[in-house]
Amino acid sequence: MVDIYWGEDPLSAPGYIAPKCVIGLDRDGVINVDRGTYTYKGTDFEPIEGSLDAVARLRKIGHKIAIITNQGGIGHGLFTEDDVDSLHQYMLDLLGEAGCPSIDAIYYSASSHKNDMYAKPNLGMFKRCQKEHPHIKFNKGYYVGDKLSDLKAAYKLGAKPVLVRTGYGLETEQQLNKFTYRDIKKKTIVFDDLSSFADWIEAH
């Protein structure tokens, strides 16, 4: 059985598998403005300038895309998984309007506890993503985030850690100068925002 898609946009074809390596994305502070508090309503979801277009561009040149985000507010009882699911539907609609009609996966953790195997910097979400989407191999890709927990996860996974200076990125860039993070710092590439990272990927 071969799926043949007759529509105009192959990116929206069922079962479409992008040919290039995965680009994992943190959400808050990378795609949308990190308000310093929890974002779980569409009205609070403010895309960072150029970020939706950046995801669309990365997708169009053939990258697999997986969004991996800690949503500790669920564990604190501040909002529910249903809230997160509807916010993500809203985000996907915005991405579609920006020219990115599909991505591979979204995973979120329900806590940010350091002993929760699913919460970054632990790798549970990434491992589950790879298991459920066997074409995704983070050790051949990138993971973009704004916090140390993102870079630590990427480093442990063998993905290329990418730091953006949006969200908590400037603080994280300072933290990276600590001696204990020297190995992560060596591997990390830093960009002003997701849009600049997409420019760099496009140029390679």
Is there a contact between 73 and 111 (Cβ–Cβ < 8 Å)? no
Per DSSP (E only), the strands in the chain are: 20-25, 63-70, 105-109, 142-145, 160-164, 189-191
Q: Which residue is nearest to Mg ion (CB)?
A: 29
CB of 33 to Mg ion, least distance (A): 11
Q: Is 146 in the site for Mg ion (CB under 5 A)?
A: yes
Determine the interface stretch with Mg ion among 42-50, 78-86, 92-100, 165-173 (rule: CB under 5 A): 165-173
Q: What residues are labeled active site?
A: 26, 28
Q: Is 26 in the site for Mg ion (CB under 5 A)?
A: yes
- Backbone phi, psi, residue 129, to 5°: -60, -45
Determine the interface stretch with Mg ion among 59-67, 101-109, 111-119, 163-171 (rule: CB under 5 A): 163-171
Angle at 171 between CA 167 and CA 175, to 5 degrees: 135
**Nearest-10 Cα torsion for 86, 92, 94, 98:** 180
Binding residue for Mg ion (CB under 5 A) from 11, 23, 28, 148?
28
Residue numbers of the site for Mg ion (CB under 5 A)? Answer: 26, 28-29, 146, 167
